[in-house]
Amino acid sequence: MTSWFRLDKEYLMSTYRRMPVAIKKGEGCKLYDVNGKEYLDLFSGVGVNILGYNHPNIVKATHEQVEKFLHLPFHFLNPVAIEYAKKLVDYSLKDGKVYFTNSGAEATEATLKLIHKYRYITGQKRDGVIVLKESFHGRTLGALHFTRQESVYQDFPHTSIPVYEVERENLKELERAILKENPIAIMLEPILGSGGIYPLSGEYLKGVEELCKQYNMLFIVDEVQSGIGRTGKLFAYQHFGITPDIIQFGKGAGGGTPLGGIIVGSRLYDTFSPGDHGTTFAHSPIGTALGLTVLNTLIDEGLMHSSYEMSLYLNEKLQKIQEDNPSFIGEVRHCGMMFGISIHETYKNVEKLQLELLNKGMLVDLTNGNTIRLLPPYIITRTEIDEFINQFISCIPKSVALTSRM
Question: Are 234 and 313 contained in the same domain?
Answer: no
The pLDDT value given to residue 20: 87
The pLDDT value given to residue 19: 87
Rg (CA), the chain: 21
| Nearest residue to 198 via CA among 351, 330, 382, 320 | 330
| Cβ-proximal residues to 320 (8 Å cutoff; 6+ apart), any chain | none
The pLDDT value given to residue 406: 34
Question: Are 106 and 25 contained in the same domain?
Answer: no
The pLDDT value given to residue 151: 66
The pLDDT value given to residue 152: 65
The pLDDT value given to residue 405: 34
Question: Are 261 and 347 contained in the same domain?
Answer: no
Question: Are 169 and 91 contained in the same domain?
Answer: yes
CATH of the domain at 209: 3.40.640.10
Give the 3-state secondary structure of residue 115: helix
Question: Are 37 and 69 contained in the same domain?
Answer: no
**Boundary (domain end) residue, out of 270, 300, 330:** 300
- Please give the Cα distance from 157 to 140 (Å, whole number): 11
Question: Are 11 and 111 contained in the same domain?
Answer: no
**Boundary (domain end) residue, out of 300, 316, 338:** 300
- Please give the Cα distance from 307 to 75 (Å, whole number): 38
Alpha-carbon distance values, 87 to 95, 100, 262, 300, 316 (Å):
11, 13, 13, 11, 33
CATH of the domain at 356: 3.90.1150.10
Q: Confirm if 47 and 251 have CB atoms less than 8 A apart.
A: yes
**Boundary (domain end) residue, out of 276, 300, 324:** 300
Domain count along the chain: 2
The number of helix segments (H) and strand segments (E) in the chain equals: 13, 17
- Please give the Cα distance from 237 to 186 (Å, whole number): 14
Question: Are 184 and 80 contained in the same domain?
Answer: yes
Question: Are 170 and 102 contained in the same domain?
Answer: yes
Question: Are 80 and 178 contained in the same domain?
Answer: yes
- Name beta bridge partners: 365: 373
Which residue segment(s) compose the domain that 387 sits in? Answer: 2-52+303-404
Question: Are 90 and 166 contained in the same domain?
Answer: yes
Question: Are 48 and 157 contained in the same domain?
Answer: no
The pLDDT value given to residue 401: 40
In the DSSP assignment, the letter for residue 173 is: H
Question: Are 71 and 205 contained in the same domain?
Answer: yes
Q: Confirm if 252 and 226 have CB atoms less than 8 A apart.
A: no
pLDDT along the chain (406 residues), means of 10: 84 86 96 97 97 98 96 92 98 97 95 94 93 90 76 74 95 98 97 96 98 98 98 98 98 97 95 91 94 98 98 98 95 98 94 96 95 98 98 78 38
Terminal Cα-to-Cα distance of the chain (whole angstroms)? 29
| Cβ-proximal residues to 312 (8 Å cutoff; 6+ apart), any chain | none
